[in-house]
Chains A and B, each alone.
Chain A
Amino acid sequence: MTSTAILFLIAGLGLITWVFARARAGRFIQQGAASVHSLPSYHGWYAAMWAVVPAILFMLVWSTVAPALGSYAVLESPLAAQLPTDAFERAAILSEARSLSRNPDVKVFNDAARELAPLYADADRNYAMIGALAAFLLCFAGAAYAFTRIRPDFRARTQVERTVMLALLLASLIAILATLGIVASLIFETVRFFNLVSPFEFLFGLQWNPSDKVVDGQATGFGAVPLFWGTVFIGAIIAMLVAIPLGLMSAIYLTQYASANVRKWMKPILEILAGVPTVVYGYFAALTVAPALRSFAVAIGITDASSESALAAGLVMGVMIIPFVSSMADDSIAAVPGSMRDGSLAMGATKSETIKQVLIPAALPGVVGGVLLAVSRAIGETMIVVMAAGLAANLTANPFASVTTVTTQIVQLLTGDTDFNSPMTLAAFALGLTLFIVTLLLNIVALQIVKKYREAYD
């Protein structure tokens, strides 16, 4: 029996328990019990909870324990006595035997695995059977226990609500768990990477030429400065040169000049730009923008223009960021008190003078915060640079040359088989940690600025 079928069965048993417990509690009211504490349905929920939750928890635990028990049973068998004593080799044979027992078409390298596979199949089947039986037993036991507790004065609602609160808290804790998971996995692999490459070499080295070779416990070619420069060049310079003027001017036009009708249509259109998947932008940059820029560069006399230029990736990324900058600027301008605007207009300033000399200076902290958020988003962007920016780690300020970025290299290093002992795989995690820290700092600073600015006008 598969675990899905068991889950469905338990759920079905839970439903039956709910119906019976509810009916039983309902009878108290029919019999005219003096004071019934909870509604019948709460008694139903209480019983169903007891039927389902312990059984499912048990199945979760069992699914992690059962494979180990299976291996233990196989190792106890006389056939396993001939296995090599080397722990590593033995583990390899055992894992092959297990995958063979699940899927007979799998290719195996050790013949011993072929002999052990039926044993594994038997052991796994036995333990699955034991697990299923125990789960059903727990289900019935829980239901029976809950059933005996159903009385007119039993506070079923309190119990159910306590469980609901627990579920709410657990759901919230998942966010912490995910953050911890990210930080822990990044730091763990990065520390291992820094055993092979010194942090100083990684952060300040100028040569990016990663390889698997480890000489005297040290790997070379992991100087990430060209990557950092490429990331800043594309994400923080070129993209912002496109996004800030266009985004800011769009926001100003839509909020200050455009009629309600124009605004109603243009705002969603700009928002579509933010909804287009990045892989589409990347393809567009690589297919259309990059070749056009290359021919343009050749036409104006730049001969060494690359077909994967920083400019193509940066331009397209800038367009992607426009709606983001625009909506942040929109919010900041809207937060400027109307009295300042009205005062300026009343003094005889034209609309554009009011915007340039009153609104923008007043909204500047908010705009700057928004731009920082946009930068953090741009440097973490992956697909556009992977598809359009190229892989050559050049340290150049020529926008028509090819540069590479942190995210491009992470994808590059982790494509294909990932061996968690290779410095190349570990380097991807070190780059990831750097990216994580930088985006986090940018976000914290930006949010602080925006918050301070909001307080100033509140």
Chain B
Amino acid sequence: MPANPQTPATGRTKTDWMGEAMQKRIARRYAAERRFKWMGLGAVALSSLFLAFLLVVMVGNGAKGFISTEATLTVDLPAATGSISPEQLTQPRLAATMASIDVRRIFDNAVQAQYGEDGARFFASTAWTALRDQLTENPNLVMSKTKVWLPTSSDIDRAAKDNSTPEAEADYATLRKAGEVRQTFNWRFLTGSDGTDPAQVGIWGALKGSLITMVVTLFLAFPVGVLAAVYLEEYASKNWLTDLIEVSINNLAAVPSIIFGLLGLAVFLQFFSMPRSAAIVGGLTLALMTMPVIVIAARNAIKAVPPSIREAAMGVGASPVQVVFHHVLPLAIPGIMTGTIIGMARALGETAPLLMIGMRAFTTTPPDGLTDPATVLPVQIFLWSDEVNRGFVEKTSAAIIVLLVFLLTMNAIAVYLRNRFETRW
């Protein structure tokens, strides 16, 4: 259009940009622009606030799970045990001596002597085992009448932390006035296993189950995933078999995790009659789930290695297998490791497929092998969240903190590996 202010042929007049109407319109458009920007910021803020809220709730509830309440008990061990010597409580005579003295009765008697007939309500039902453990750790205790700290019952524990039954609150107030109660770090939570008394449970059993399962998963999914990725990326010719493999892997990556649980139940447990609740079945199931993740990550990592590397290796006479295993794979390893760690982190947090194959065993001792009944950390969280006893709330949250710490560490390692070793060509 020619720059002519008067275009009477079309009847148009020049827009008055400085006029009131136009200024208003521009103001309106700019306001819309600002609103839109604020909405975007709001969406980001809302999402991160939710994450912060979730973490705060979990840490707020869970921090108390790492604290246990203990009360004193005065035990006259020389009298109760018939003055055995500390040497009798050292190896190799320890087992024989422990069999000869009834720690449980000693504990019961001491509780009755100090806290009266129904004094047992102050202590956890398994508190006598804590006394036994202290005795084996420190044999010199038998030399004199001593004061030991033992875990209190769940009711008193909750009275110390928030609120409990009126009786427990009264008991706690009495103990506190006498200075016979204290709060310490709950080592038992990190070293113990599942139980019925929330004050006494620990996560080591579930954690060990998780670790065994993860080892099985890693040993199966990593080699298979990397080899499959190498095949698909470097050697596979374009034919129906390759297409079928690609479709299967992409499909497996998108299948809901619970379907893998059904597969494990029908194939591993029913068809191959493998043991129920065993870490090996859990590991197998999770390996099938993790393998596609590793394949996809490894393929991307292999694809990122520039063709010039392959051509150079070929040029100096390497065979196709040597090209890949001596040159391409070593360069792709950081990317593969990153993908593997992310896949393993996902497997570590997975619950549903493991519920299907019965990895919800109630075991008070950690699993010792691949076929022992075991549970894993996320399933333990699920089981505790179902408990009626209010004392399990803090334990569930504490277990969640432990799980999140593991996952965040794994992800941090993955990010570190990516930043440290990834080469950009």
Query: Using a CB–CB distance below 8 Å, which chain A residues touch chain B?
Result: 157, 161, 164-165, 167-169, 171-176, 178-179, 181-182, 185-186, 188-189, 245-250, 252-254, 256-258, 266, 268-270, 272-273, 275-284, 286-288, 319, 322-323, 350-353, 355-356, 373, 376-377, 379-383, 386-387, 407, 410-411, 414-415, 418, 420, 428-429, 432, 435-436, 439-440, 443, 447
B244 within 8 A of A: yes
Q: Is the CB of A277 within 8 A of B43?
A: no
A-B complex: 3 closest residue pairs judged by Cβ atoms: A380-B256, A253-B40, A277-B349
B114 within 8 A of A: no
Q: Is the CB of B58 within 8 A of A410?
A: no
Q: Is the CB of B33 within 8 A of A171?
A: no
Set of chain B residues within 8 Å of A252, measured between Cβ atoms:
40
Q: Is the CB of B32 within 8 A of A175?
A: no
Can you name the residue of chain B whose Cβ is closest to the Cβ of A382? B352
On whether A432 and B262 interact (CB within 8 A), knowing A172-B231, A350-B32, A352-B32, the answer reads: yes
* B418 CB, min distance to chain A CBs, angstroms: 12
* A1 CB, min distance to chain B CBs, angstroms: 17
Mind listing 29 A-B residue pairs with CB under 8 Å? A168-B235, A174-B228, A174-B291, A175-B292, A176-B248, A178-B263, A185-B266, A246-B47, A250-B44, A256-B40, A257-B37, A257-B41, A266-B44, A269-B48, A269-B51, A272-B408, A275-B349, A276-B51, A277-B349, A277-B378, A277-B403, A282-B385, A283-B385, A356-B36, A380-B259, A381-B256, A410-B258, A439-B254, A439-B256
Q: Is the CB of A178 within 8 A of B381?
A: no
Set of chain B residues within 8 Å of A248, measured between Cβ atoms:
43
On whether A273 and B57 interact (CB within 8 A), knowing A168-B227, A176-B245, A250-B43, the answer reads: no
Contact residue among A164, A175, A245, A246 (Cβ-Cβ distance under 8 Å from B291): A175
Q: Is the CB of A280 within 8 A of B381?
A: yes
Set of chain A residues within 8 Å of B404, measured between Cβ atoms:
276, 280
Interface residues of B in 301-325 (CB under 8 A from A): 319-321, 325
Q: Is the CB of B396 within 8 A of A283?
A: yes
The B interface is mostly helix, strand or loop, or mixed, namely helix
* A11 CB, min distance to chain B CBs, angstroms: 14
B94 within 8 A of A: no
Q: Is the CB of B228 within 8 A of A172?
A: yes
Report how far A237 CA is from B218 CA in the complex, Å.
Answer: 37
On whether A428 and B43 interact (CB within 8 A), knowing A353-B29, A380-B257, A382-B257, the answer reads: no
Q: Is the CB of B228 within 8 A of A277?
A: no
Q: Is the CB of B33 within 8 A of A179?
A: no
- Mask, B21-63, CB within 8 Å of A = 1, is 0000000011011011101111110111011001001100100
B224 within 8 A of A: yes
B338 within 8 A of A: no
On whether A167 and B254 interact (CB within 8 A), knowing A172-B245, A176-B244, A383-B351, the answer reads: no
Q: Is the CB of B227 within 8 A of A172?
A: yes
On whether A351 and B228 interact (CB within 8 A), knowing A189-B266, A322-B47, the answer reads: no
* A138 CB, min distance to chain B CBs, angstroms: 23
Query: Beyond the given A380-B257, A436-B259, could you list 5 further A-B residue pairs with CB under 8 A, ordered by the A residue number?
Result: A178-B252, A182-B263, A273-B47, A380-B259, A383-B352
B95 within 8 A of A: no
Q: Is the CB of A411 within 8 A of B355?
A: yes
B393 within 8 A of A: yes
* A453 CB, min distance to chain B CBs, angstroms: 18
B125 within 8 A of A: no
Query: Using a CB–CB distance below 8 Å, which chain B residues touch chain A?
Result: 29-30, 32-33, 35-37, 39-44, 46-48, 50-51, 54, 57-58, 61, 223-225, 227-228, 230-232, 235-236, 244-245, 248-252, 254-260, 262-263, 265-267, 270-271, 288, 291-292, 295, 319-321, 325, 345-346, 348-352, 355-356, 378-379, 381-382, 385, 393, 396-397, 400, 403-404, 407-408, 411, 415
* B293 CB, min distance to chain A CBs, angstroms: 12
Can you name the residue of chain B whose Cβ is closest to the Cβ of A376? B254
Q: Is the CB of B259 within 8 A of A411?
A: no
Q: Is the CB of A279 within 8 A of B378?
A: yes
Q: Is the CB of A443 within 8 A of B254?
A: yes
Set of chain A residues within 8 Å of B252, measured between Cβ atoms:
175, 178-179
On whether A284 and B58 interact (CB within 8 A), knowing A179-B248, A179-B252, A439-B256, the answer reads: yes
Report how far A286 CA is from B351 CA in the complex, Å.
Answer: 16
On whether A435 and B256 interact (CB within 8 A), knowing A275-B345, A277-B349, the answer reads: yes
Q: Is the CB of B32 within 8 A of A407?
A: no
Contact residue among B37, B236, B249, B356 (Cβ-Cβ distance under 8 Å from A175): B249
Report how far A355 CA is from B43 CA in the complex, Å.
Answer: 16
* A395 CB, min distance to chain B CBs, angstroms: 23
On whether A270 and B400 interact (CB within 8 A), knowing A172-B245, A279-B381, the answer reads: no
Report how far A164 CA is from B227 CA in the complex, Å.
Answer: 9
Report how far A246 CA is from B408 CA in the complex, Å.
Answer: 24
Set of chain A residues within 8 Å of B411, measured between Cβ atoms:
272, 275
A266, A272, A282, A407, most chain B CB atoms within 10 A: A272
On whether A172 and B256 interact (CB within 8 A), knowing A278-B349, A410-B262, A414-B265, the answer reads: no
Report how far A249 CA is from B47 CA in the complex, Å.
Answer: 11
Can you name the residue of chain B whose Cβ is closest to the Cβ of A315? B50
Report how far A387 CA is from B387 CA in the complex, Å.
Answer: 12
Report how far A273 CA is from B50 CA in the complex, Å.
Answer: 9
Report how far A432 CA is from B267 CA in the complex, Å.
Answer: 14
Report how far A204 CA is from B96 CA in the complex, Å.
Answer: 69
Q: Is the CB of B259 within 8 A of A432?
A: yes
Report how far A216 CA is from B195 CA in the complex, Å.
Answer: 45
Contact residue among A164, A279, A440 (Cβ-Cβ distance under 8 Å from B349): A279
Q: Is the CB of B230 within 8 A of A168?
A: yes
Set of chain A residues within 8 Å of B271, measured between Cβ atoms:
185
Q: Is the CB of A253 within 8 A of B41?
A: yes
Report how far A109 CA is from B379 CA in the complex, Å.
Answer: 32
